[in-house]
A and B are shown apart, each in its own frame.
Chain A
Amino acid sequence: MKLLRTAILSAAMVTAGAAYGQQAIKIGVMNDMAGTYADLAGPGSVIAARMAIEDLGDLTKGWKIEVVGADHQNKPDIGSNVVRQWIDVDKVDVIVDVPTSSVALAVNEIVKEKNKAFLVSGAAASDLTGPRCSPNTVHWTYDTWALANGTGNAIVKTGGDSWFFLTADYAFGHALERDTMAVVNKNGGKVVGSVRHPFPGQDFSSFLLQAQASKAKIIGLANAGADTTNAIKQAAEFGITQKGQNLAGLLVFLTDIHGLGLKTAQGLIFTEAWYWDMNDANRAFAKRFAAANRGVHPSMVHAGVYSSVQHYVKSVIALKSAADGKAVVEHMKKNKTKDALFGEGEIRVDGRKIHPMYLFEVKKPEESKGPWDYYKLRATIPANEAFRPLAEGKCPLVSG
């Protein structure tokens, strides 16, 4: 019973310095506010966007910048309705975050049609900078290709050469499965099967039994959030890991590890774009963020929202207008990105933000100093290798 839910969770007005009120930017953060992805994105993304603007300080002088939030409940139709109404009625200039690739792909089209801007942090489908790329979209934090490239490579090279996929049945799961299969095959491994589970799922036992019957060495979890954590828990319940099969979480967030506990999660290997305990700037951000977000530490999605919003606002201020979304995104691509959390980087012509990715391993309980101290760094994937080469994406914006 939920056709449209523009939950204005926080209509925070952030006015820096003297408010002249002439120039305005309205930022719409849309994601899953109460469901499967609420912890890894959710209200935290609104907080991150607001912090991004605060931290720009004097730069925003004379600008009235407003952040609104809405819940898309992981449904493309609800997301489309919210975005249309945001742009048509509420005059929102930029849509931010949007985890759940199916919703992000729908929003991608609308934003292009209405010539606004779209900063993707939560969604993963690499199609957003591939066949479905748009001159109005920047894909910031990570994508399925980068996850597959990082985790898939590492696992196949350490002997995990036969795979069975447990895949969330929507755009994101399909893309992650496709991209990981490609990596597995390229490295000489083989994929023995896959099964698609409803999204969001509750009971994974019958799918796990199919995976078990396949005798694959690696069960690749091409899903996210609560789906991943439930699958991991139930695999333990059915003794799947005891019988020698290993789970590969292809997309795992800090908040998932927190929910699982180190006892269950230890040893998991996965790829992420950002971790709070890597340098002082990240730690400082995490401390402020956690204070505002019930103690929950920031995930890479929150960090991506922060950085992308800063870069966008800088471009709008440089252009003195947010009206032409395409022009703003073009400006964002032309200028190097620089912020406290992602450091220096760039945005490619296809909309892909380029930065290093990191391969992490979950610590053993005895290695952890306390809550939120969960990862140890296994490898850094340099920026020029972390993302899909421009030529392979089939993005129409890339001229041959």
Chain B
Amino acid sequence: MDINLPALFGQLLIGLINGSFYALLSLGLAVIFGMLNIINFAHGAQYMMGAFVAYFLLQFAGLNYWWALIVAPVIVGGFGILIERAFLQWLYKLDHLYGLLLTFGLALVIQGLFRHQYGSSGLPYQIPPQLTGVRDLGFTFLPNYRAWVVVFSLVVCLGTWFIIEKTRLGAYLRAATENPTLVRAFGINVPRMITLTYGFGVALAALAGVMAAPIYAVNPTMGADIIIVVFAVVVIGGMGSIMGAIVTGFGLGVVEGLTKYFFPEASNTVIFVIMVIVLVTRPAGLFGRAA
């Protein structure tokens, strides 16, 4: 096969960018699942909300992209906290599937409201002026903004991993996942910790949404399909480890990029095929502990 290097590197690069979004989103899902035992089906809708809030901030408050990176996750994360208090907290004693169904319903409501208001053709969001332009790497063109997305999401992912695995706060979190009663005995407010964890997971989704806004246009349906791919990523990685979510996210993005080059017809399905293979050979996922 005649390999066209610029095209191959180009697709790998796009894969890495998609992988950044997979990693951020599956990380958020894993954090939420770890604490709440809930699969957050509204994650895609919250990702979309992040992009919309960035758009609103620019339109109505004059806050640019850089502000949006900080403010949008806070706003959407706050919204997540309201959801947790209003709905999710009543489900912890029930079957986990009810959490999935409830968040699915919430996703429909949120997406429906945004579609009702903004149609489905998408709103434009400009790339921040500092990051416009293209870098000619010789073998391929690298738009500066996309390079930023990869680097920044890597930083966020590793930061999250550090907090959860290496700090005292993270230690409490992990302990509360294993044995809430014991942690409560240490005088720690476990319900509040759960609420804040959900807010944090949602904020990660919103952050991904802000980063996606300049690439994909701000669209009410932008989170609807990606969330299912992210589910597959989570099944492949297993939800046991934070690092697992990050590595699987980026890795599968790259695999998808390779597929786009070598066998473009399969690029939509390759992640699902990998999921099947992993399930047949390692049912607990690549990084998961056996259930």
Taking Cβ atoms with an 8 Å cutoff, the residues of A that contact B are 1, 34-36, 38-39, 195, 200, 202-203, 205-206, 209-210, 212-213, 225-226, 230, 237-240, 242-243, 259
Specify which of B121, B134, B222 is in contact with A36 (CB 8 Å cutoff). Answer: B121
Minimal beta-carbon separation of B256 from chain A (angstroms): 9
Residue contact A230 to B11, C-beta cutoff 8 Å: no
Kindly list chain A residues whose C-beta atoms are within 8 Å of the C-beta of B282.
none
Kindly list chain B residues whose C-beta atoms are within 8 Å of the C-beta of A38.
119, 121
Interface of A is mostly: loop
Residue contact B217 to A209, C-beta cutoff 8 Å: no
Specify which of B10, B14, B108, B219 is in contact with A202 (CB 8 Å cutoff). Answer: B219
Residue contact A35 to B141, C-beta cutoff 8 Å: no
Q: A212-B7, A213-B7 are in contact. Are A237 and B143 (CB under 8 A)?
A: yes
Residue contact A35 to B14, C-beta cutoff 8 Å: no
Residue contact B121 to A202, C-beta cutoff 8 Å: no
Q: A34-B120, A36-B120, A213-B4 are in contact. Are A230 and B217 (CB under 8 A)?
A: yes
Kindly list chain A residues whose C-beta atoms are within 8 Å of the C-beta of B7.
209-210, 212-213
Kindly list the 6 A-B residue pairs having the minimum CB-CB distance in the complex, ordered from nearest.
A213-B7, A34-B119, A209-B10, A239-B134, A239-B141, A35-B120
Kindly list 4 other residue pairs between chains A and B, CB separation below 8 angstroms, not including A203-B216, A238-B141, A243-B141: A1-B108, A195-B264, A202-B222, A206-B264
The verdict on B159 contacting chain A, using a C-beta distance below 8 Å, is no
Provide the B201-231 mask, 1 if CB < 8 A to any CB of A, else 0: 0000000000000011101001000000000
Q: Which parts of B101-129 form the interface with A (CB within 8 Å)?
A: 108, 115, 119-122, 124, 127
The verdict on B136 contacting chain A, using a C-beta distance below 8 Å, is yes
Minimal beta-carbon separation of B170 from chain A (angstroms): 34
Rounded to whole angstroms, the CA-CA distance of A230 and B143 in the bound complex is 16
5 A–B pairs (Cβ distance < 8 Å), ordered by A: A206-B11, A206-B260, A209-B7, A213-B7, A230-B122
Closest to B111 in A: A1
Rounded to whole angstroms, the CA-CA distance of A259 and B264 in the bound complex is 30
Closest to B134 in A: A239
Residue contact A209 to B14, C-beta cutoff 8 Å: yes
Kindly list chain A residues whose C-beta atoms are within 8 Å of the C-beta of B257.
206
Residue contact B115 to A34, C-beta cutoff 8 Å: yes
Kindly list chain A residues whose C-beta atoms are within 8 Å of the C-beta of B191.
none
Closest to B267 in A: A206
Closest to A39 in B: B121
Rounded to whole angstroms, the CA-CA distance of A202 and B136 in the bound complex is 24
Rounded to whole angstroms, the CA-CA distance of A231 and B121 in the bound complex is 14
Closest to B108 in A: A1
Minimal beta-carbon separation of A106 from chain B (angstroms): 21
Specify which of A36, A209, A239 is in contact with B11 (CB 8 Å cutoff). Answer: A209
Kindly list chain A residues whose C-beta atoms are within 8 Å of the C-beta of B145.
237
Kindly list chain A residues whose C-beta atoms are within 8 Å of the C-beta of B11.
206, 209
Kindly list chain A residues whose C-beta atoms are within 8 Å of the C-beta of B14.
205-206, 209
Kindly list chain A residues whose C-beta atoms are within 8 Å of the C-beta of B121.
34-36, 38-39, 200, 225-226
Closest to A242 in B: B134
Residue contact B143 to A238, C-beta cutoff 8 Å: yes
